[in-house]
Chains A and B, each alone.
Chain A
């Protein structure tokens, strides 16, 4: 069997897995009856429906010819990993190191994700954005965000 549309093949598979997963998960909760639907009623039905639609997408991907096989294309691992890493590191760092350090870390990591990294520009960007964020979020909107590292304020 030949896959005629890569994109649809994988999205169909994704919908089936998600649908079946939710439907199985829903069996942990009381299903109820039509007259008294329980907490598992709606998610179970939706999960099944999603799996059915996923199967339709999958079937189409295997039968209907598409232009050039509709390839998924290369995955941009570098931006994917670095952007997500930057966000996660920021999440971990903010309560401990404060905004004054975690924001520069975030900007540095995410700037590495692009292909035009110039240290000088990134440093300017860091200074502008950190001061700007302080002015907007802490000074302007008076949101509760740790500014300085925890070891300095303790």
Chain B
């Protein structure tokens, strides 16, 4: 069983630490949402977990092997990261981009084998971008491009899928679809997903676990109903949020402008199961 484990991680850029003493453990089959205010260190944590930012102290291990000790190709076969922003000055097609997901499998001077091509076609089917295969990725809508990038990560066949705001350009129904696509590798291969999500409701509706970062520290880690509480939301995100519960899944709404402070508590009921 895949297990990604970070302990006492402090990391940042230059002399500035963004993450302080972060500990996190994610097991295969889990879907974890990473939430928190802007600047709380979500993307930095994702980069540390992906092994592309070396922590200044602490350790990140995959199945008890420090990811800093893994050769980069071996690491890339286990961990994929879907970036938040993506631009390319060249007209690469969707198929060419998804094929780049096979990078850790082709030899240094090699070419993708027929089996790699099959994996690429399957990945494009999974994210529903087969029809876009010959289109230049730079000409796609934000949502289509995001699907193609998720397709690239799926073609990478990693056990750990890290996503940075994968739904930011998507319509509401597409947001759920994009996260649904990821359910399959989780179910079939025991992969785990860690996604930075801006939308607390989407996090609550799609993740098994929510990890809340504030000012570079993890302040909560648990099932959505245990994490998304009125007290925690007001302490992390400030006043003005209404936290409710529907069918055992918490939700968060902005309070109407001008409503009195403390109204945040009014919709809360204990989880029914």
A interacts with B = no
Interface residues of B, Cβ cutoff 8 Å to A: none
Interface residues of A, Cβ cutoff 8 Å to B: none
